[in-house]
Amino acid sequence: MDSDDAPPVLEVTSPARGTTSQGDQVTVTGRVTDDKSGVKVRVNGTEVSPAADGSFSATITAQAGLEIIETHAIDSGGNDVRDVRAVLSGTLEASDGTVASPIGARVSPAALTAVGNVLATTAEAIDFTAAATAMNPVYNNTGCLGARIDVNSITLSNIDLGLTPGAGVLATAVSIDNVEVKMRAAFKVACIGGSTTITVRSTKAKINGGLGLAVSAGKLAASLPTSSVSLEGFTIDVGGVPGAIESLLKGEARKAVENALTKVIKDKVPPMANTALSG
């Protein structure tokens, strides 16, 4: 029996990402193709039978507010292709200009989990090394007791991302497992130069912030203006250096790792959220 290694091709044609829907009924249409027969389509957990040409249509009941629509195409080999998008549904009325913020959204815990999972999977594809090395030097003090520190590489094993409703924002908790950052430091002690390697490890880096959502040009726009970071299971190895510079290198290397991870998440997560929610 031939194996089915190629995943199906899924195209969701409506609704558009970030669109609005009057009422609580949303029609999801699209097309699926595969090199073998037997491909299945599920829309928000309900199986839909594609027509002979691969087209499909399903009508779902949406809660008023922000509704997450998750469509899967699964072939006979178990290959699963997913499309996640959001629509703003409910009773829509014209504003007379007297309401400052006429749009609200209610999102179920299951929908937030789905969005968080999509963001986490996408975040794992970020090239953290490229993003961090673009910030070099991450520390630069060229005095007679100073150093320049550059990031060489960042590796990690897994990213989890959780979203929890808050006052005006979605509380965002990013957890990054088994972070290892390799650095190079050129230093001076009493104006005598030297260099060393630095390896920073953390079993879990946690970055917490508030993901703000606004509606701009008919689409959702996300931002992550503030965040904090903590490093659990933190260790740092600095090659043989004079004691006078060791504490400076360790302190600045840790701050550099915290700043680099925070900046990457702040720069990358909002655009990913825009894609997941609004397209």
pLDDT digits (tens, 9 = 90+) for 158-195: 999 888 876 667 788 899 999 999 999 999 988 888 99
State the greatest distance between any 2 C-alpha atoms of the chain, in Å, as a whole number.
Answer: 78
**Which pLDDT does position 102 carry in this prediction?**
47
Contacts of 28 (CB under 8 A, 6+ apart): 12, 14, 15, 43, 57, 58, 59, 60, 69, 71
Q: How confident is the model over 140-167, as pLDDT tens digits? A: 998 888 999 999 999 999 999 888 876 6
Written as one string, the DSSP assignment of 134-149 is: TT--SEEE-STEEEEE
- Shared domain for 171 and 262, answered yes or no, is yes
Confidence tier at 85 by pLDDT (50, 70, 90): confident
Asked whether residue 69 falls in the same domain as residue 149, the answer is no
Query: What residues pair up with 83 in beta bridges, in sequence order?
Result: 71
The one-letter amino acid code at 38 reads G
Share above pLDDT 70 across residues of the chain, in percent, rounded to a whole number: 84
129 and 257 in a single domain? The answer is yes
Same domain, 154 and 59: no
Structurally, the chain folds into a number of domains equal to 2
Per DSSP, the three-state class of 109 is helix
Whether residues 144 and 268 share a domain: the answer is yes
Q: pLDDT-based confidence at 266, cuts 50/70/90?
A: confident
Residues 55 and 191 in one domain: no
Domain residues for 42?
Answer: 9-94
Residue type at 87?
A: V
State the pLDDT confidence band at 23, using cuts at 50, 70 and 90.
confident
